[in-house]
Structure 1
Amino acid sequence: MKKEEIFLGDWQRLLLGNTPWEFMLEVFIRTIIVYIAVLITWRLLGKRMNAQLTITELAVMITLGGIASVPMQLPDRGVLLGILGLACAIIFQRGYNLLTLKFRKAELVAYGDVALLVKDGVLQLNQMQEYNISKEQVFAGLRSQKIQHLGEVKRLYLESSGLFSIFKQDNPQPGLSVLPEKDEPVHQTETHDQTFAACLHCGNIVKQPELKNQACPNCQETNWTYAVAA
């Protein structure tokens, strides 16, 4: 379009572009066809698409949006091309799923591996850094399971789906509180362990008489706080 053909009061161009009013009806028909095709595609991709999405499933979902938008809106693009694109997405997703079943490395590339974030009440800082998980994210996941301190946790895994799997200790030990720091009234109700102190950085516990401003044997930090009694 030439510069002299563009002006602010051209409402037909603003609303319809360079297409006639009749194209609105065609867009309606195209949308119905593509919408039905997307629903069928979604159904064929399986029930997992209705649950927590993996990386490959999220990529397919974004691809579906890109494929579906073109045949609905562009008058010079046929609907069959969009349907063909949807069919290719189905074939690719199912083919890749079969590949991950046969080859462990393909599964790890697509979905990632399980990460151990808490072990016997201590934060695994290297794993948290590798998977870009903050301490507050871990604590929020524990609070959602009504866990008050790390001493209650035997294992916390970050699954490939992005969800946390939490296993509690059969016999809880003293540990670092996971309650929000700003919620002081709740912290005042916690029972402080008189024998152990907790590292603020990783949650490791040591006997208080052994502290004397020493570095944490697990993470080498020197910031300590009370440990919540088991």
Structure 2
Amino acid sequence: MIIVIVRTIILYAIILIVMRIMGKRQLGQLQPFELVITILISELAAVPMQDTGIPLINGIIPIFILMTAQILLSFITLKSEKARGIICGKPSILIEDGNIMEKELSKLYFNINDLLEQLRVKGYPDIKDVEFAILETEGQLSVIPKSSKRPATPKDLKLNVTQEKIPITIIIDGVLIKENLKIARLSEKDISKILSQKGVNSFKEVFFAGLDSSGQFFFQIKDFVRNR
């Protein structure tokens, strides 16, 4: 039993490392070759995990071979447009100027009901409102609405708006994120001073704190502090 537990932990750790090396992507964003490699890796890990008679190395070596193959293919698709088209495919236009491309749907085995469902999910139930609908290489449908159907932007309304910044997390569950302090160009003393002005004496009393998109500091204290 202990052997099974140890083997499982080792394989789990190896899979985590391999998936991190291969990059951060959600399952729905994987290219076909990436999805195939991910499935094969999971199968290779499952066999030695279940059968203790199979040497652990027999599962680990193929996993690293597949990881190397995936990295190599990713590098090739990064450097070569032609190879990218062969390996990943090319985006396909399914709707152009409100007209469904029947031949393209047939070529991709993509039926009209699926197309209409995807459009409704994107918030466009009427095909005539769509300028372009493009099926991306990872299977996602990108919808470009007609100009008259696009939401008005500050530029359209000729409004001057302040450029937003990336929100920065400063404190999580009482722990100060020092790496983010450098990004925010603040020190621990600065945060302590701001909190003390609000009646908070310790970082441990703060559940969450950060800078919003406008650069303003905000925080939320923990429940036990609020209720005491």
Match of 1:155 in 2: 132
Percent identical residues: 28
Match of 2:143 in 1: 166
Query: In structure 2, how many angstroms separate the alpha carbons of the residues matched to 1:38 and 1:150?
Result: 43
Superposition CA RMSD, Å: 1.7
- Deviation string, structure 1 residues 22-76 (Cα, Å, up to 9, x no partner): xx33212111111111111111111025662211111111111221122223333
Aligned residues: 149
Is the Cα contact below 8 Å between 2:94 and 2:132 reproduced in 1?
yes
- Deviation string, structure 1 residues 92-130 (Cα, Å, up to 9, x no partner): 100011111222232122221110100111100000110
Q: Which runs of 4+ in 1 moved over 6 A?
A: none
Structure number, greater radius of gyration: 1
| Letter aligned with residue 136 of structure 2 | E
Instruction: Give the TM-score normalised by structure 1.
Output: 0.60
- Deviation string, structure 1 residues 112-155 (Cα, Å, up to 9, x no partner): 11101001111000001101111111111211232232221111
Q: 1:49 to 1:86 in 2, by over 3 A?
A: farther
Match of 1:194 in 2: none
- Deviation string, structure 1 residues 3-36 (Cα, Å, up to 9, x no partner): xxxxxxxxxxxxxxxxxxxxx3321211111111
Match of 1:117 in 2: 94
- Deviation string, structure 1 residues 200-221 (Cα, Å, up to 9, x no partner): xxxxxxxxxxxxxxxxxxxxxx
Give 5+ residue unaligned stretches, structure 2: 150-228
Instruction: Give the TM-score normalised by structure 2.
Output: 0.61
Match of 1:47 in 2: 24
Match of 1:78 in 2: 55
Is the Cα contact below 8 Å between 1:100 and 1:107 reproduced in 2?
yes
- Asked if 1:139 is matched to 2:131, the reply is no
- Deviation string, structure 1 residues 151-184 (Cα, Å, up to 9, x no partner): 2111110000101111111246xxxxxxxxxxxx
Query: In structure 2, how many angstroms separate the alpha carbons of the residues matched to 1:167 and 1:127?
Result: 18
